[in-house]
């Protein structure tokens, strides 16, 4: 039986990845940070099947102890301060968790379980002000936020540990992926949650930022399969994971309101509070390498994804007004 350690297991991707690895017969450990209030909603249904270890990416001794306890064959580093918007108000913290935290974990892997395979959750935010359309593994990075800059460090230190110490370390450059488990701050879930509340008479308007930004949005359940596949290859490598289609935030808003038979113009208000100091205008990934080498393809379309998220939020609010 293989053993995996997932950091960020309470997050969107961590919970889907834990489900996938359990289905494949893995023993799954999850690193969770100490919180005053437990926020384990995404993994509540898995609590009997997984082992949780307390630790923090910023605390090397806790990572060494976690690896000593779990002795994993595979380590998936999904933990991060992952909200781009907050990375301007907490830039040092973001650099420490999302950037230096990766180095801490790689160093702990090198010292304790150097045979283990390592996955780093890199991001299309690294492309930022894009130097090429579509973006592939060969596109130069130009991050536009403290988050993007921290992810660039995390990416290159992963490559460096692979090349310096021969670690089996892979970096997945994942484009935006969403689900009913997405945090409420992120634009897709903010929109689908608001649409459901408006449809149920619980909210009157939706305040938004830049509607012209374009993103390549996929389903998180599809994307965790790519993470797993990367660690099953003969050689460690880096892969872009994306759908190859891009839509504006306005199209997302239109699609979500249309799903409940409403017109978005009647509810959406632009609020400068949600406009970012520097924007990533367009993301569009080229997933050809993943298709060829991992035999990975996204299965859920944009329309299906938005529909799934609105339906899930509606279920929560129906009968609540
Ligand atoms: P998420 O839902 O925000 O989950 C982040 C996880 O990291 C949570 O479990 C959080 O724990 C944990 N965490 C935060 N700070 C930590 C620390 N100092 N030590 C240990 N754990 C910590 O993120 P996600 O959407 O699942 O994304 C997973 C990873 O992929 C992240 O690294 C993200 O940056 C990256 N990524 C995401 C996307 C996307 O579109 N979703 C695309 C590209 C890359 P708490 O529950 O305690 O907060
Ligand atoms: O949903 P978002 O906050 O995601 P963003 O910034 O693209 O980052 C996400 O994807 C990255 C991969 O590319 C991950 F690495 C990262 O961890 C995270 O998961 O915003 C998407 C777009 C932005 O252009 C933003 O300016 O939506 C625009 N937007 C417009 N109004 C808004 C809003 N975003 C949010 N969160 N809230 C708004 O009201």
Write the CATH number for 206: 3.90.25.10
Beta-bridge mates of residue 5: 29, 75
Q: Which atom of ligand 1 lies closest to the CA of 39?
A: 46
pLDDT of 148 higher than 80:
yes
Q: Same domain for 159 and 11?
A: yes
Same domain, 89 and 198: no
- Measured in residues, the chain has a length of 321
Residue of 134, 148, 101, 168 lying closest to 244 (CA atoms):
134
Which of 226, 241, 256 terminates a domain? The answer is 241
Ligand 1 contacts CB of residue 84 (under 6 A) = no
* Mean per-residue pLDDT over the chain, rounded: 98
Q: Whose CA is nearest to atom 16 of ligand 2?
A: 82
Same domain, 202 and 293: yes
Whether ligand 2 lies within 6 angstroms of the CB of 251 is answered as: no
Distance 129 CA to ligand 2 centre (A): 14
Structure tokens at 35: 């919180």
Q: For residues 59 and 53, what is the distance between their CA atoms, to the nearest angstrom?
A: 13
- CA pair distance 110, 157, nearest whole angstrom: 13
Q: How far is the C-alpha of 145 from the C-alpha of 262, rounded, in Å?
A: 34
Task: Identify which of 12, 10, 7, 8 has the alpha carbon closest to the alpha carbon of residue 182.
Answer: 12
Beta bridge partners of 76: 6, 119
User: What CATH number does residue 85 fall under?
Assistant: 3.40.50.720
- What does the pLDDT read at residue 9? 98
Q: Is residue 227 located within the same domain as residue 282?
A: no
Residue 22: the pLDDT is: 98
Confirm if 170 and 230 have CB atoms less than 8 A apart. Answer: yes
- Same domain for 229 and 258, yes or no, is no
Q: Are residues 146 and 254 in the same domain?
A: no
Domain count, the chain: 2
Give the sign of the dihedral formed by CA 297, CA 116, CA 153, CA 88: positive
Query: Which residue's C-alpha comes closest to atom 19 of ligand 1?
Result: 56
Cβ proximity of 98 and 150 under 8 Å: yes
- Helices 101-112 and 146-165: crossing angle in degrees, nearest 10, is 20
Report the alpha-carbon distance of residue 286 to residue 240 in Å, rounded.
7
Using a 6 Å cutoff on CB, does residue 313 contact ligand 1? no
Q: Could you tell me if 227 and 81 lie in one domain?
A: yes
Q: What is the best residue among 5, 13, 61 to mutate for testing ligand 1's pocket, by most ligand atoms within 8 Å of CB?
A: 13
Residues 29 and 154 grouped into a single domain: yes
Atom of ligand 1 lying closest to residue 177 CA:
40
**pLDDT value, residue 299:** 98
172 and 273 assigned to the same domain: no
Residue 321 has pLDDT above 80, yes or no: no
Task: Give the contacts of 30 (CB within 8 A, at least 6 positions apart).
Answer: 5, 6, 7, 9, 10, 14, 18, 43, 50, 51, 52, 53
Catalytic residues: 123, 125, 147
pLDDT in tens, 260-283: 999 999 999 999 999 999 999 999
Structural domain that includes position 73: 3-177+217-241
Instruction: Report the pLDDT value the prediction gives residue 39, as an integer from 0 to 100.
Output: 83
- Verify whether ligand 1 is closer than 6 Å to residue 30 (CB atom): no
As given in the structure block, the two tokens for residue 16 are 């889907």
Give the torsion through C-alpha atoms of 118, 60, 99, 157, to 10 deg.
-50
Which ligand 1 atom is the nearest neighbour of the CA of 122?
44
Residues 85 and 192 in one domain: no
């Amino acid at each position: 039986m293989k053993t995996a350690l997932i950091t960020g297991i309470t997050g969107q991707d961590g919970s889907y990845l834990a489900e996938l690895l359990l289905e494949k017969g893995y023993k799954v450990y999850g690193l969770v940070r100490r919180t005053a209030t437990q926020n384990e909603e995404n993994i509540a249904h898995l609590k009997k099947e997984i082992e949780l270890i307390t630790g923090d990416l910023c605390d090397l001794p806790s990572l060494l102890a976690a690896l000593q306890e779990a002795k994993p064959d595979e380590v998936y580093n999904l933990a991060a301060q992952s909200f781009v918007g907050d990375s301007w108000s907490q830039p040092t913290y973001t650099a420490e968790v999302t950037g230096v935290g990766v180095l801490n974990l790689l160093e702990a892997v090198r010292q304790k379980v150097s045979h283990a395979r390592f996955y780093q959750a890199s991001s299309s935010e690294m492309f930022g002000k894009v130097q090429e359309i579509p973006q592939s593994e060969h596109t130069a990075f130009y991050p536009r936020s403290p988050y993007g800059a921290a992810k660039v460090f995390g990416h290159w230190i992963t490559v460096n540990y692979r090349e310096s110490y021969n670690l089996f370390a892979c970096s997945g450059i994942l484009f935006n992926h969403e689900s009913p488990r997405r945090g409420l701050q992120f634009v897709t879930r903010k929109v689908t949650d608001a649409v459901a509340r408006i449809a149920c008479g619980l909210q009157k308007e939706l305040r938004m930022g830049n509607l012209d930004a374009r993103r390549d949005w996929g389903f998180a359940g599809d994307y965790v399969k790519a993470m797993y596949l990367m660690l099953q290859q003969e050689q460690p490598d880096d892969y872009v994971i994306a759908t190859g289609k891009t839509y504006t935030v306005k199209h997302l808003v239109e699609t979500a309101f249309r799903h409940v038979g409403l017109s978005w113009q009647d509810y959406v208000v632009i609020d400068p509070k949600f406009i970012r100091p520097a924007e990533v205008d367009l993301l569009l990934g080229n997933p050809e390498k993943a298709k060829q080498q991992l035999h990975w393809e996204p299965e859920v379309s944009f329309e299906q994804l938005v529909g799934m998220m609105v339906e899930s939020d509606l279920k929560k609010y129906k009968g609540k007004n």
